[in-house]
Amino acid sequence: MATTTSDIRNGLCIKYNGGLWTIVEFLHVKPGKGPAFVRTKLKNLENGKVVDNTFNAGIKIETVRIETRDYQYLYNDDMGYHFMNAETYEQVAINKHLISAPQFLKDGVICQVMFHAEEETVLSCDLPNNIEVEITYTEPGIKGDTATNAMKPATTDTGAEIRVPLFINQGDWVKIDTRTGAYSERVKK
């Protein structure tokens, strides 16, 4: 599907330089002298690299139709990470490098899987922004040592290493931001 640079918007997926790219941000520039152009930040869907690129105004760009579907995480093995579509029960194996935060995957987590609509290939898999995990190991906190914002290392039930406040103990449940891996809050279970 061919469109022009005037149709550029955030999230648009395009074919460019032999790869699939999504537009992270863009700016239409109309200088006083010379032709107009569009300054963009493009993210490569195969390897995640982000690059700056400038398109001349009015040139044709080839867009790609993508679909996002909910898939439930099942397990991982040497074939990849296995997910199931909750509606059709269709299963798909996804490579680790296509998953946004594989260290936080737990059985049953619903993820957003992005597909190239024409080829039915997986482009990416995004976990929910926040996920609740149990702390399986951390050093005990010292009473009265919570006045500062000091953090200590901890291991979650998914095996991920994170940093938590000193008052968090083994067996506590915490909410983690999967985009940064940062502790958000303690959760009552």
Query: What per-residue confidence (pLDDT) applies to 7?
Result: 85
Give the CATH number of domain 2-63; options: 2.160.10.10, 3.40.605.10, 3.90.550.10, 2.30.30.30. Answer: 2.30.30.30
Q: How far apart are the C-alpha atoms of 156 and 135, rounded to whole Å?
A: 4
Which among 110, 80, 104 is positioned nearest to 157, based on CA atoms?
Answer: 104
pLDDT digits (tens, 9 = 90+) for 100-110: 889 999 999 99
Which among 174, 141, 142 is positioned nearest to 158, based on CA atoms?
Answer: 174
In terms of CATH, what superfamily is 130-187?
A: Nucleic acid-binding proteins (2.40.50.140)
Give the confidence band of 97 by pLDDT, cuts at 50, 70, 90: confident
The answer on pLDDT for 93 being more than 90 is: yes
Mean pLDDT of the chain: 88
Which value, in Å, is the radius of gyration of the alpha carbons in the chain?
21
Do 67-126 and 130-187 show the same overall fold? yes
43-58 residues labelled b (16+ CB within 10 A) or e (exposed)? bebeeeeeeeeebeee
Which among 66, 72, 71, 70 is positioned nearest to 43, based on CA atoms?
Answer: 66
Which amino acid appears at position 67 of this protein? E
pLDDT digits (tens, 9 = 90+) for 146-181: 566 788 899 999 999 999 988 888 999 999 999 898
Query: What per-residue confidence (pLDDT) applies to 58?
Result: 86
Say how far residue 146 (Cα) sits from the centre of its chain. 32
Query: What per-residue confidence (pLDDT) applies to 153?
Result: 92
pLDDT digits (tens, 9 = 90+) for 22-40: 898 999 898 888 899 999 9
Give the CATH number of domain 67-126; options: 2.40.110.10, 2.60.40.10, 2.30.110.20, 2.40.50.140. Answer: 2.40.50.140
Range 3-10 average pLDDT: 85
Alpha helices (runs of H) in the chain, residue ranges in sequence order: none
Q: Where are the domains of the chain?
A: 2-63, 67-126, 130-187
pTM for this prediction: 0.73
Show the tokens assigned to 29.
């520039």
Q: How far apart are the C-alpha atoms of 2 and 64, rounded to whole Å?
A: 9
